[in-house]
Structure 1
Amino acid sequence: MGPRCSKLSLCWWPSHLKPTHHEASDLENGTDDLPSFTEFSFDQLRAATSGFSTDSIVSEHGVKAPNVVYKGRLEDDRWIAVKRFNRSAWPDTRQFLEEAKAVGQLRSERLANLIGFCCEGDERLLVAEFMPFETLSKHLFHWDSQPMKWSMRVRVALYLAQALEYCSTKGRALYHDLNAYRILFDQDGNPRLSCFGLMKNSRDGKSYSTNLAFTPPEYLRTGRVIPESVVYSFGTLLLDLLSGKHIPPSHALDLIRGKNFLMLMDSCLDGHFSNDDGTDLVRLASRCLQYEARERPNVKSLVSSLAPLQKETDVPSYVLMGIPHGAASPKETTSLTPLGDACSRLDLTAIHEILEKIGYKDDEGVANELSFQVWTDQIQETLNAKKQGDAAFKGKDFVTAVECYTQVWNIKSVTFLKQENSTQSVFPCSLIISAVHR
């Protein structure tokens, strides 16, 4: 990779490139609202992740001693990603602190930024911004409703190159095990590079956990990562984006040399991109995958090569991705009322306080058809039945699924309970359930 660019040199941009694309020095814009890098207590992170519950796990890395990433929620309702390392990963406390603080100084709209850490006893944890719309691997290889569009694929490539360039200008040119699982999508559908791969762990000297067929040649020879190794891994990601599959570089290069590069292209993209654009991206991938590290382009060159290939630049990423905009998570909603939020947390005290404020009276001189305790029990029963039905449906046990969903429907069919000889209504289970699942 070439010499690090000065801040002054970054102000110059070739005139043929569109001004809408960000320079590396501009990628800190819009990050002022991010919290400063801070230290968290272990108790804080344990509470945020519900005691490091298995339900909070979003990824596991490693086989014998996995480093687990949890989804968490702080007391101020901010969502976070918490990476908890296995106990042998960072025996040198000072090295962990130095690495965490160095990566924590980075702030870019192209990164899932590191916002904190925890180092208590044998515990080593990192805290980053939470990215709600999963990984590139999910959207590229395991999509449900639609394949990723060509314009989104070249946008992912550009944003990733910009992230790597930004890190390089900040003295963090090395990235460990760059792959499709390291690219995450934020609430706007924009791709971001996980900051976790910027952490250097010297315990075992291993920087790649992927199949050897995808590992840079020089790493296989020396066991060391160099900036050009990152570019090689970037080339494998370009192959992923082109093909929609995880193709070994050696196989892809054989096709390219035989001028059969169209065999690489994802069949789902047929007719949705020009041959020239496809050829340009294939050529860039082959340059990144050169056996000799010195023959690969640097990250600044990657950005300048990818910028002219951008399509539909005025279309937001969430539109191209076909994902909802403004939601905290694909599996969550921000439209819950206070009552619905209390129900979703099964906080009976909060539910009762809300109902008292709006005039609900439990067993106060009138004969209600259901007491407070009875219908809250019904809520729990309904949630349990729904959970069992969902599990049965996923397991293709349709008989059990129908039985469970029928039970849910029967409970939700309870209509408004009214106090005898009174116009004041008691909130029924069906209303609460609707609030929870709205």
Structure 2
Amino acid sequence: MSLMISWCFCLFFFILLQACQIARGVVYNITTLEPLFPNQTLVSSGQIFELGFFKPNGSENHFVGIWYKNFTPSKIVWVANRNLPLMYRDWSAKLTIGGDGNLKLMDGRGNIVWSTNASGQSNYTSAALLDSGNFVLQDANYSEIWGSFDDPTDTLLPSMKMGVNARTGEKYYLSSWRSDSDPSLGSFLSEITSETPPQPFTWNHSTPYWRGGQWDKSKFIGIQNMDQSYSSMMNVQQDIQQGTTYFSIVPYNSPFFGYMFVSPQGYLKVMYWDDGAKAWFTDWTGPNNTCEIYGTCGPFGVCNSMNLPICRCLNGFVPMSNEEWNSGNWTGGCVRETELNCQKNTSTSASTILKKDAFWQMSQMKLPDSADYLSDIGDQEGCLSRCLSNCSCLAYSYVNTIGCMVWTKEDLIDLEEFSTAGADLFVRVAHVKTGGSPQKAVIISLSTVAGIMFFAVFVFGVCKWRTKKEGNFRIILRLLGWVDKPERLGELLQGNSWEEQLKQDDALELTLFSFDSILLATNKFSMTNKLGQGGFGSVYKGKMNDGREVAVKRLSSSSAQGVQEFKNEIILISKLQHRNLVKLIGCCTEGDEKLLVYEYLPNKSLDTFLFDSGKKVELDWGKRFKIIEGIARGLLYLHRDSCLRVIHRDLKVSNILLDEKMNPKISDFGLARMFEGTQVLVNTHKIVGTLGYMSPEYAMGGIFSERSDVYSFGVLLLEIVSGKKNTAMYDQGYLNLLSYVWQLWSEGKALDLMDEAIAVSFPLEVIRCIHVGLLCVQDHAMDRPNMMNVVLMLSGESDLPQPRQPIFTFQTEMPNHGIPSQKESLWSVNTVTNTMVEGR
């Protein structure tokens, strides 16, 4: 009896559950007798995806589509009737199985708006939504007849494929929405090509818009930050015999909720859901900058986003139109400056014909489009030989994981120069462009000598003129810190060059102080006037004759790197003006003395407050946030808004000075690098900076960029919030401050990081700062925001993506354990800078 009661109870509960689901409009399959109406949704068994009627934001049109069920905001990942919307409030519309076994979307008048049109279907078909997001039409045995994965719109889900079957002609590609409120076919199409090696492409109608470069069996060469990822989600499977090439997203963790889509603006993006933050975040975007837009610099032009201007011609080429090039329109590209020797006709002298063309090596390149793959070439020498023997061969590249590629059919286009990753490209040039014949070398040498002699005479004339004017020829030498020794003539010319550069460039008017006046102002550099010890010398307080208080930086005579840094600082700071940068008043260069005279900031450096248990209470949260914002704006000026593009390379607490109102000013530009014109940002053989603030790619590989400063800023920000040094956490069981912050963040205890010496009225502002700090110290440079985004994030004007765990801990180890042995390294611990040169 009890068994019967239990059975009846279970049956009643099941019927009740079904009734509740119907009331809520939730169904799990579609049949001929059970269509889907606008007030219902079809849900996958695991409650991951949902299919139903929807209208895009700002639109009154209705469509049938699929979206992630429980994630807000919802992203429509597939649309059935994208080009034929249903009329507003057509409540009689339905998605059903027709008499021929096909799925049909019908409006209220019985018109077929969309259909699967599958052939050979069964009369006993049904439709279901799988947990993969695939909407399938299946027969009575649950075998798939049709699936939405075979008819993608703008989105690629994990386990979907994008590609081509050359034998059958089947193509699977993504096509953008027309706009965010209109899912109809837009302007952009993304696909993977069937060539060998394959390349991802985005097209704007029939015009190439973005290209990801060749697939090397683990990554796309043209996507720079794929090399910086510990594991990429992108995968390509190519079967040449079967004629298939398929691209897919293969998640590196499970479960993974994400997708790739092409936006109405043409951006190809990989998005993922972070369950902790309950938000969608962007994992990767292409194009990511102007250089990634196809053909920005035209044929034979190479783009580098770190340069100004971003385009330059390949070696041996000149702009097609100087007028267009100088105006910033580079799409016309470049033409060859010197005809190739192999192209010269037979009337040319035999000696010239016998000359062979050479190849100019370019490293860390996004290889050009339209390569010919030579499967029968097994090494680089063979690749070189094949290209050299064919006068139509413009360039070649040998990539170990691909093989030999040559460029013969088209102009070299869509070239980009990276600061890291990429491949070597060898561009064919006339022999004379690589150094030329001995006769040419002699001519060049004689010309060079003549130029030097002329310049020396010119400098001597200038010196004589200044001698008459100032009454003492040695003043010229003292201005450079040298005496008139013949063996220093080269350095004299170089020294005079940088001084004259300041005058020619209309730099700020810097006062040239006499050494005696500095001695008087600093009381002969007395210890009572000493403000601190820097990496290249000491800093003293001084009072000039006019009553101005100054800070005098005295370069240490024992510093091997000091002269260059001294010049660097004068040239840089004299050209920069910003409320958050320290102001340089003048300099003194008499004898061996090299001194910089700055404005005096009474509150000294930030570390004197932040890490002093007695003084840190003076830095309440309002002042700290003001300091954080000021530093960010100063860096933004250096990176983007100044007449130069400057990377500081040694941003740290002790290099932030505070004025009488506690406004921050970035100081110490001795290690900074500026970039203008066609200068290229490349690897450096001299790693300089402070351990604990150096980014991973810089400390380990000597690669620096604006994002290196962003990393240092992130460390600095977290130190300001916590009142703790990044390198002072070892005693508490953490490798550094970053690992401590991440643990608090992952446990939802971010506010525990806040300095105990302060209290806040706006805890969300503190959490936002910690969030920004973690974003800035991401392991991979491309994952970090730029300073413009940082400023917007701090002000609350920009959404914050979820940070990833910072894994890099090199900066807490001893220097000789981490610096590559073939680098010349310069780092500072605390505030003292040391130099170590290891054998090559």
* Structure 1 equivalent of residue 715 of structure 2: 236
What is the deviation of 1:192? 1.7
Identity %: 32
2:746 matches 1:257: yes
For residues 32-431 of structure 1, the aligned pairs below 5 Å read 36-62=509-535, 67-89=537-559, 96-97=566-567, 99-144=569-614, 146-168=617-639, 169-170=641-642, 171-196=644-669, 199=672, 205-209=686-690, 212-247=691-726, 248-270=737-759, 272-308=760-796
What is the deviation of 1:131? 0.3
Comparing both structures, which one devotes a greater share of its residues to helix? 1
Deviations 1:239-264 (A, max 9, x none): 11211212422332233233332221
State the Cα RMSD in Å: 3.1
What is the deviation of 1:274? 2.8
* Structure 2 equivalent of residue 337 of structure 1: none
Contact map agreement 2:566 2:670 (CA 8 A) in 1:
no
Contact map agreement 1:100 1:199 (CA 8 A) in 2:
no
* Structure 2 equivalent of residue 404 of structure 1: none
Contact map agreement 1:178 1:197 (CA 8 A) in 2:
no
Tell me the secondary structure at the aligned position of residue 269 of structure 1. Answer: coil
Structure 1 residues 172, 89: closer, same or farther in 2, change over 3 A?
farther
What is the deviation of 1:59? 0.6
Contact map agreement 1:153 1:241 (CA 8 A) in 2:
yes
What is the deviation of 1:110? 1.3
Structure 1 residues 296, 199: closer, same or farther in 2, change over 3 A?
closer
What is the deviation of 1:198? 5.9
Give the whole-Å Cα distance in 2 for the aligned partners of 1:107 and 1:134.
Answer: 20
Comparing both structures, which one devotes a greater share of its residues to strand? 2
Tell me the secondary structure at the aligned position of residue 739 of structure 2. Answer: helix
Tell me the secondary structure at the aligned position of residue 50 of structure 1. Answer: coil
* Structure 2 equivalent of residue 351 of structure 1: none
Tell me the secondary structure at the aligned position of residue 111 of structure 1. Answer: coil
TM-score by length of 1: 0.56
Give the whole-Å Cα distance in 2 for the aligned partners of 1:91 and 1:268.
Answer: 40
* Structure 2 equivalent of residue 31 of structure 1: none
Deviations 1:254-286 (A, max 9, x none): 33233332221222334x233322221111011
What is the deviation of 1:195? 4.5
Q: Which has the larger radius of gyration?
A: 2
Structure 1 residues 90, 75: closer, same or farther in 2, change over 3 A?
farther
Aligned AA (1:136): L
Contact map agreement 1:80 1:129 (CA 8 A) in 2:
yes
Structure 1 residues 92, 181: closer, same or farther in 2, change over 3 A?
closer
Contact map agreement 1:111 1:195 (CA 8 A) in 2:
no
Deviations 1:369-410 (A, max 9, x none): xxxxxxxxxxxxxxxxxxxxxxxxxxxxxxxxxxxxxxxxxx
Tell me the secondary structure at the aligned position of residue 650 of structure 2. Answer: coil
Tell me the secondary structure at the aligned position of residue 173 of structure 1. Answer: strand
Higher mean alpha-carbon deviation, 41-50 vs 284-293, is at: 41-50
Which of structures 1 and 2 has the larger relative contact order (alpha carbons within 8 angstroms, sep 6+)?
A: 1
Give the whole-Å Cα distance in 2 for the aligned partners of 1:261 and 1:68.
Answer: 38
Give the whole-Å Cα distance in 2 for the aligned partners of 1:84 and 1:204.
Answer: 27
What is the deviation of 1:157? 0.6
TM-score by length of 2: 0.30
What is the deviation of 1:172? 4.2
Give the whole-Å Cα distance in 1 for the aligned partners of 2:773 and 2:611.
Answer: 19
Contact map agreement 1:112 1:130 (CA 8 A) in 2:
no
Give the whole-Å Cα distance in 2 for the aligned partners of 1:279 and 1:187.
Answer: 28
Give the whole-Å Cα distance in 2 for the aligned partners of 1:75 and 1:142.
Answer: 34
What is the deviation of 1:115? 1.8
What is the deviation of 1:143? 5.0
What is the deviation of 1:164? 0.9
Aligned AA (2:745): I
Aligned AA (2:725): H
Aligned AA (2:654): Y
Aligned AA (2:711): Y
Contact map agreement 1:90 1:96 (CA 8 A) in 2:
no
Aligned AA (1:151): G
Count matched residues.
275
Give the whole-Å Cα distance in 2 for the aligned partners of 1:198 and 1:78.
Answer: 28
Structure 1 residues 123, 90: closer, same or farther in 2, change over 3 A?
farther
Aligned AA (1:58): L
Structure 1 residues 217, 91: closer, same or farther in 2, change over 3 A?
closer
Deviations 1:334-354 (A, max 9, x none): xxxxxxxxxxxxxxxxxxxxx
Tell me the secondary structure at the aligned position of residue 116 of structure 1. Answer: strand
What is the deviation of 1:121? 2.9
Tell me the secondary structure at the aligned position of residue 686 of structure 2. Answer: coil
Higher mean alpha-carbon deviation, 148-157 vs 259-268, is at: 259-268
Give the whole-Å Cα distance in 1 for the aligned partners of 2:566 and 2:604.
Answer: 27
Tell me the secondary structure at the aligned position of residue 121 of structure 1. Answer: coil
Aligned AA (1:282): I
What is the deviation of 1:57? 0.8
* Structure 1 equivalent of residue 475 of structure 2: none
What is the deviation of 1:303? 1.6
Contact map agreement 1:149 1:269 (CA 8 A) in 2:
yes
Tell me the secondary structure at the aligned position of residue 176 of structure 1. Answer: coil
Q: Give 5+ residue unaligned stretches, structure 1.
A: 7-34, 310-438
Contact map agreement 2:572 2:669 (CA 8 A) in 1:
no
Give the whole-Å Cα distance in 2 for the aligned partners of 1:92 and 1:156.
Answer: 30
* Structure 2 equivalent of residue 381 of structure 1: none
Contact map agreement 1:79 1:129 (CA 8 A) in 2:
yes
Contact map agreement 1:147 1:268 (CA 8 A) in 2:
no
